[in-house]
Structure 1
Amino acid sequence: MVNIEHLTDRRPQVSPEELLEGFRPSERFGEVSFDTYIPDPNQPSQAQAVEELKKFGARVGSNSGGGGGFFSKLFGGGKPAGGGLNGIYLDGGFGVGKTHLLASLWHMVEGPKAFGTFVEYTNLVGALTFRKTVEALSQYKLVCIDEFELDDPGDTVLMSRLMRELSDAGVKIAATSNTLPGALGEGRFAAADFKREIQVLADQFEVIRVDGEDYRHRGLPEAPQPVAAGSEEATVQDKFPASATIAVDSFADLVEHLSVVHPSRYRQLIAGLDGICWKDVQPITQQAVALRFVVLADRLYDKDLPIISSGVPFDRVFTEEMMAGGYQKKYFRAVSRLTALAREGMLGEQNQ
């Protein structure tokens, strides 16, 4: 029999050290390298991006850390620690391999380093305070920020300030953009947006364009039909091996529970699980609830946890207003990822 647990019974307590330990590429990118990235021969910018990132990684590797920094250069104090620019930014559309490249850079660099999404860093500040986050990350050689988001002005200013202080401490920073599939042709504007938002740091970032078609295909895949109400646990027993541990929860109870668990702890919330089952999924109508759920969806996708659910399909879990509003990038990504996990859980299709 499959071992059944409940996310609503879990209230993980995580130390600052444990939080920081989690800032590494997810299992999906745990062993990638520049050698495993296959550039499209029809898109020369992809091969060029690999070479530029290797050069940047070599500069980071030669950086002994401390001293120098952004402001010393700004006011005539010499070059930033490690030589060259303090930051590198991958600008491109959805699904061209930017995360693979960023994770490859992280794996290449030796020494203290961090890798996380934009949201994970803002959550880290919320959990530790801004000053303690700066103190911790200032000891690192490299900080990688995946999916830099420009849809929340407050968070963008927060991250700009964090990056500025880390750069002043001599930390090298690498970032990628977050672009909608529908905006694939507009990806070139992301660099201008990014530079505007990081203000005085802009001239310290080298922008690398990564062109190409979305290898995951454009648009939202059709979400599989949920299972019938009342058949959820029987489906779990049928779909998963007897050794599996599956979290089975009422969807309403689950989203309520997320309000009492800080998003920085969602990685630990789902630790040790082999799959997820939600009963009676219904559209989320409150923005704050929806944004917390997006973070959980990202962590589930990181761990590649198949999902079985009843209720509405995941392409209806956010309202039309949300999908067309200011946070649409977050919601689009969440629907795409939840749909992929549902196809794996309910249809047995291996998620790529």
Structure 2
Amino acid sequence: MPKSLSKLVFRQHWPLLLGLLVVLVGAGVFQGLSGTQMWHSQNSPEFRQMTIDHELHYQRASHQYIDGDGRRYASKKAFYRDYQQSLLQLYRQTPTKKTNSIRGMFGTGVNAYYFVIAMIAGIAMIWSTRRRYLNEFLQGVGYRRTQIYQQQTLLYGSTTALGVIIGSLANLAILAGSIPQRYFAYFKWSFWLRDLTNDVLMAVMLLLVAGLLRLTINNGVIVFAFLFAMYLDWWLPLAVYRQSGTHYGANFLSRNWVLGDSLVVLLGLAAWVVARWLSHRYSNEQRQQVILVAALRLPVILLLSLPVGLLVSQVINGLLAAEHGLISFAISWILGVVGLIAWIYRPKWSQRLWQMVAMLR
């Protein structure tokens, strides 16, 4: 890749790249500050007394105190010592069975802000290019769209990875500087680096998938809503069956993190390859189209209908207290397909509806 292209793309996108880096680092700082505040709040005498009043029950027969989990203590001081040594620790002593992670609750858990920011960055990458006609300028200089897209994703992907790394280090530094070291008793660099790798790969993958969807769907709000819905309910078969957002698939991949990270890398790479192929097919005449590639309209409708159907079925079940989750999802999915066809293809039977929508605007 010629150095001049990288310089040109950087000059075009540097405000967004700088903003992306600042926001990602800010998300890490915010997590550290909020985690520190939560820890000090739960370590305060007021919270300690409230915990003792609600958790401990004195048993006259044994002259012992019993907490909500059935653990016995000789005195309130013994309970508080155990409370400090276990519940106030920032990391778990042993990895959880569900996720095989030692992440705790005081600013050390998964920072979902990283992933939401990465989605928005992937959408903004394509949006800014089209709105300012940046590709047309670079094409006039002699570069191909595929070259331009490669350089854009390289800059945005590396900025996202750097932002997550710096933000996670800032989070750890804030916690270490504000909370006594004895509460880091179970911290392990190997687990921390593994979790950081997971976060970086997930953020970059979501950036690439968002870019692919934005190249396909000419509406950034719809792309973000679809991505966010799939992020929350990506393990769709169980989500449909149990009528709730589940984490069983995510927990399995967390326990088998090599497999999980491999799937994330493959998905991100596939999104990049397809988006690279789509990048040279776009023309300014397509700006008014909802789905830019005609051959992808039906697959995109079917894909978009899944989270739409899940959301509608959850609303229906909540209102009617329905027990037949699969049946309600099937009905909701059909309604979602019909609605999306009416929105994208604009058949004759729906034209009157869109005329009314245009009048309301």
Greater share of strand: 1
Higher helix content, 1 or 2: 2
Higher relative contact order (Cα pairs below 8 Å, separated by 6+ residues)? 1
Larger C-alpha radius of gyration, 1 or 2? 2
Shorter-chain TM-score range? under 0.3
TM-score by length of structure 1 reads 0.27
Task: Tell me the TM-score normalized by structure 2.
Answer: 0.27
